Structure 1
Amino acid sequence: MLFWIIAGVLALVVSLILGLALLRGRVGDAPPAAYDLQVYRDQLKEVDRDLARGVISEAEAERLRAEVSRRVLAADAQLRAGGESGGQPGRAGLIVAGLVILGLAGGSFALYSQVGAPGYRDLPLKTRLAVSDEARQNRLTQAEAEAKVPAPDVTPEASPEFLELMEKLRQTVAERGGDLRGLTLLVRNEAALGNFTAAHEAQAKLIAAKGNGASAGDYAHMADLMISAAGGYVSQEAEQALRAALERNPDEPTARYYLGVYLMQVDRPDGAFRTWDALLRESDPSAPWVPTIRERIEELAWRAGVTDYQLPSAPGQTAPGPSAADIEAAGEMSTEDRQQMIQGMVQRLSERLANEGGTPAEWARLIRALGVMGETDRAAAIWGEAQTRFAEAPEAMALVREAAQAAGVAE
């Protein structure tokens, strides 16, 4: 309500100022014609000064005096005829003033009612957190979420023979109970058919059969199937599966990706941004979640209040820092210039990786460059840090290890 009062008062004040100016016929202490008259008199004096300095001839001065004098007479006549109102028609001015007030005040309210958010309460941080907590507590169950999604169609490419084999597989798994291999096949094939509900139910039985041996990947896969069955919605049960996966392995990438989705759905863009930004920087460029994150993370950063976010280099782009070609080209420079150039590029890359993180290719490039420069101690330190960062990413670790071996700091 306070917003409406302030907006209404401001609109009314501005409208009254414009309306009074229209009714008075002027905006200052004198009518417009009085200002014109003063300007013309100053012009007559300027003509005399120009003539005295020899800038214009006597004939030109006479012509200018006659023209300005004509304007002086016209302005004086207008001033006498208009009086204090400047000749502004009273009724017309009143009508225009009324239209201005109606258009500015009424139009502003009408526009805001269409494109604004009338009645929407203020959302300070404490309130936003309370709203997010409420959204967490009121999440739909998996069954409720799936009920809102249209029934899936069986994959049209599935042959009658395959569907017949699937029926036999379902029957066999039901009879054998905790058959791990049968359950694994059932999960895979139900998902291939688009039967995500049956797939996550089979995955839950597989996890139960494994007991304490169930891995973070097992729980992340179950959450993935649940979310697919719910059309992208992260239900109460799906969130529990994500938490279970991350308890077993905080770096499980599928769980981290869907945790970001969940945080966006409960209106916590700050947590979602931190989760996705870290995952993007640590992921292999070919990971399936990377394109989605790259497409949405800049908007997510804006929503999280991060105004200076820089999207990491896209797959295929040259990573910052000196490449082998850079170092080879530097051979044509003087020794001092070459060392200065290489050290500058290496230092910039090192600082960015330390502050913002980076891709495995960038870590490998830094280690390789330090090895070429003979700074094996720094290369060994970076290699040690990389082993911790990419411990759960075998492909990334292999790339960085190769660079460390080339730098002579790894076996």
Structure 2
Amino acid sequence: MAIWLLFALMTGAAVFALLWPLSRRPQPAMPDGSTDSVLATETGFYEDQLRDIERDAGRGLLAPQEAEAARAEAARRLLRASRTLGDATAPRVGEPALRHRRAASAFALSTVPLVALIVYGLYGSPGLPAQPQAERAAAGRTGRDLAAGIAQIETHLAQHPEDGRGWEVLAPVYLRLGRMEDAVKAYEQALRLLGDTTPRLSDYGEALVAASDGMVPEKARKAFEKARAAEPGAVKPLFYLARAAEQDGDRDLAVARYKDLAASSPADAPWMSMVRESIERLGGTLPAPAPADRPGLTDEQRTAIRGMVAGLDQRLAAGGGTPEEWTRLVRSYGVMGERDKAAEALARARAALGDKAAPVEAAAREIGLASP
């Protein structure tokens, strides 16, 4: 706010300095009759001088040539004095003209800053946050350092194009900078030189999607399918394959894949918001987390599932949630065999949701909890 006040004061000072001469009142004309009296005085003085010249010439004190020169000089002075006094009697700027000047000054003083603000609002960036000089300098140094680092790696790869590790390091940098085509080529080189891995295939597919403005092209699908075959629980391939099915109009397959991803992910996973939104948009319902005691699960998997359910419980206890989230919690405790916790979650859901607790009641009946 202080900087805008300073700019306003500076603008006002500059406009005042330019327009002040226009607003000054002109010098008043001489009082009536004063000009005539001055002119008469000047004329009488030079007429007396001419009589003196004639008298001196008659007495022989001045030669004829000298008398003639003196008469001419006196006549010139009389003429010059008459012209000067005549200029003083010329019309001067009156009060109406002065008012017009002052109005023009006031209009300019108010209009120039207003026009400047409008132009800045249209073509400037008033919404950008302030950035101190030190931060701008640091950002500039960071950008220069990054550009220098990229140039160094590119020079190295031009000399050693078989360095797969160099291509793998450079690819995500290209992706972050928005150089999608370069990122795709770098991932292709890394895959060719270092071989297929689930993270490498997933990143390659994601770069293809970014280069296609969010669409999942055929090459990306093949990369994601290959990554999922190598690691069925990988998040990124499953998410993009679900999006590909949605893109093809196969709603059931897209919902099934999104549900698989939701069921195998922690409730607070960063991608869960997008998964929930996609399932709801396609008309599906979120599944409950996988039961922790399901046969075939390892101890590590059971611990992870219990942690997901506990995290969901803590989040709902702290900030509440949707009926679907309470339903998932009650059903999860029921499947895990923890009926006491399921009953407690049902009671909390009733208190939190009120009339909207019908889906939770239905889930409670499914797992055998009485519904008073």
**Greater Rg, structure 1 or structure 2?**
2
TM-score (norm 2): 0.41
Higher relative contact order by CA 8 Å / sep ≥ 6: 1 or 2?
A: 1
TM-score (norm 1): 0.37
